[in-house]
């Protein structure tokens, strides 16, 4: 294989021997990709990705722009289904079941695997109605007030909004809106929360609140987070997966080990800021 790497990482060929992927014991695994490829038309955005994500931990997905981080995240709860030209091959298992099997209902899957996006996107409704939205569409409104309060508390927002639940969610600050979106996601009691750069639109104080919150959420949920911010990945995650150009997962393991002692030379270059 060529030893000349492009400035942005890696060419399209990625021998098995170049990968360093930690195996998670099956009993601790909640999400498992095996030979996962995603194509947009002719373009291959994920290339033969195999990895297991442990339950109730924070797993960070990092890598240079365009390496497939968001595509991988969206493949977990089938959000790529919403993109006409996207095509998935291989398997993505959630609790042992391939989510791409014909009998899987993507809407039901997304109740168990919620998502928080880069830009906060509360509905133009009251704070209460934002959080109550999921339970209501599931016709699951028993003890709704308590559930709304619990979700807002878990999202570390209750103290700031408890006396104005009827105000519009869109009138909150950016950081509060993002915590409201997290409360909306957890109100339906998911098992996994996917986060796609949830703090990239926020100031440092709001970012630090989201980071503290992610740490707390991992006591109850599995969190998978895409971030461009390597310091953030190092601070908040238990495991880190490094993707490089061409949609290749190159290294995956304990966050401390990946940042202190990366085994792959290109991962070391990426982490030390030589490209990306
Ligand atoms: N909806 C889409 N239609 C066509 N191509 C897409 C689409 N979404 C992503 N791609 C392509 O797939 C590849 C991977 O994109 P993806 O957004 O997953 O990467 P990323 O690592 O999350 O990037 P970034 O860090 O810039 O957000 C890129 O080449 C991108 O152009």
241: enclosing H helix or E strand: strand 239-244
**pLDDT score for 15:** 59
- The three-class DSSP label of residue 36 is strand
**What's the residue count for the chain?**
276
- The three-class DSSP label of residue 125 is coil
Closest CA to 44 of 91, 88, 9, 1: 88
Is 57 within 8 Å of 30 (Cβ atoms)? Answer: no
**pLDDT score for 274:** 81
Best residue among 36, 42, 46, 68 to mutate for probing ligand 1, ranked by most atoms within 8 Å of CB: 68
Ligand 1 atom nearest residue 38's Cα = 12
Ligand 1 pocket, CB under 6 A: 40, 45, 63, 65-71, 83, 85, 228
d(CA 55, CA 29): 6
Point out which residues pair with 21 in neighbouring strands.
Answer: 252
Is 158 within 8 Å of 211 (Cβ atoms)? Answer: no
The Cβ-side half-sphere exposure at 156, using a 13 Å CA radius, reads 16
Residue 59: Cβ within 10 Å count: 25
- Sheet containing strand 248-254, strands side by side: 20-21, 248-254, 239-244, 58-62, 222-226, 192-196, 113-116
Report which protein residue has its CA nearest ligand 1's atom 16: 68
Task: Compute the distance from residue 275 Cα to the ligand 1 centre, in Å.
Answer: 18
**pLDDT score for 2:** 36
Point out which residues pair with 58 in neighbouring strands.
Answer: 223
Best residue among 40, 63, 233 to mutate for probing ligand 1, ranked by most atoms within 8 Å of CB: 40
Ligand 1 atom nearest residue 68's Cα = 18
Task: Compute the distance from residue 68 Cα to the ligand 1 centre, in Å.
Answer: 6
- The three-class DSSP label of residue 30 is strand
Is 178 within 8 Å of 99 (Cβ atoms)? Answer: no
Report which protein residue has its CA nearest ligand 1's atom 5: 40
Report which protein residue has its CA nearest ligand 1's atom 12: 45
**pLDDT score for 17:** 61
> Which portions of the chain are predicted below pLDDT 70?
1-17
Which residue segments constitute the domains of the chain, with CATH numbers given? 27-272 (3.40.50.300)
List helix spans (H) across 89-167: 106-112, 127-137, 144-154, 158-161
Task: Compute the distance from residue 69 Cα to the ligand 1 centre, in Å.
Answer: 8
d(CA 182, CA 188): 11
Point out which residues pair with 37 in neighbouring strands.
Answer: 89
Q: Where are the beta strands (DSSP E) in 2-161?
A: 20-21, 29-40, 43-54, 58-62, 86-94, 97-98, 113-116
108-112: long-range pairs with CB below 8 Å, 24+: 109/77, 109/78, 110/77, 110/78, 110/79, 111/138, 111/188, 111/190, 112/190, 112/191, 112/192
Task: Compute the distance from residue 200 Cα to the ligand 1 centre, in Å.
Answer: 17
């Amino acid at each position: 294989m060529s030893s000349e790497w492009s400035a942005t990482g890696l060419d399209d060929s990625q021998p098995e021997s170049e990968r360093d992927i930690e195996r998670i014991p099956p009993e601790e695994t909640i999400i498992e990709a095996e030979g996962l490829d995603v194509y947009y038309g002719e373009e291959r955005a994920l290339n033969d990705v195999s990895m297991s994500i442990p339950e109730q931990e924070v797993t960070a997905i990092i890598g240079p722009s365009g390496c497939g981080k968001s595509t991988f995240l969206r493949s977990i709860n089938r959000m790529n289904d919403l993109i006409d030209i996207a095509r998935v091959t291989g398997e993505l298992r959630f609790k042992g079941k391939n989510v791409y099997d014909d009998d899987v209902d993507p809407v039901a899957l997304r109740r168990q695997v919620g998502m928080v996006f880069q830009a906060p996107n509360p509905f133009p409704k009251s704070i209460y109605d934002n959080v109550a939205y999921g339970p209501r569409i599931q016709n699951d409104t028993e003890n709704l007030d308590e559930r709304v309060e619990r979700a807002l508390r878990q999202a570390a927002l209750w103290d700031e909004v408890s006396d104005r639940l009827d105000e519009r969610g869109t009138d909150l600050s950016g950081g509060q809106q993002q915590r409201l979106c997290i409360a909306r996601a957890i109100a339906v009691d998911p098992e996994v929360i996917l986060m796609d750069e949830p703090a990239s639109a926020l100031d440092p104080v709001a970012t630090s609140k989201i980071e503290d919150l992610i740490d707390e959420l991992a006591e109850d949920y599995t969190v998978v987070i895409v971030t461009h911010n390597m310091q953030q990945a190092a601070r908040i995650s238990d495991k880190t997966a490094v993707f490089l150009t061409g949609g290749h997962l190159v290294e995956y393991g304990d966050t401390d080990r990946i940042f202190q002692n990366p085994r792959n030379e290109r991962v070391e270059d990426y982490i030390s800021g030589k490209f990306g």
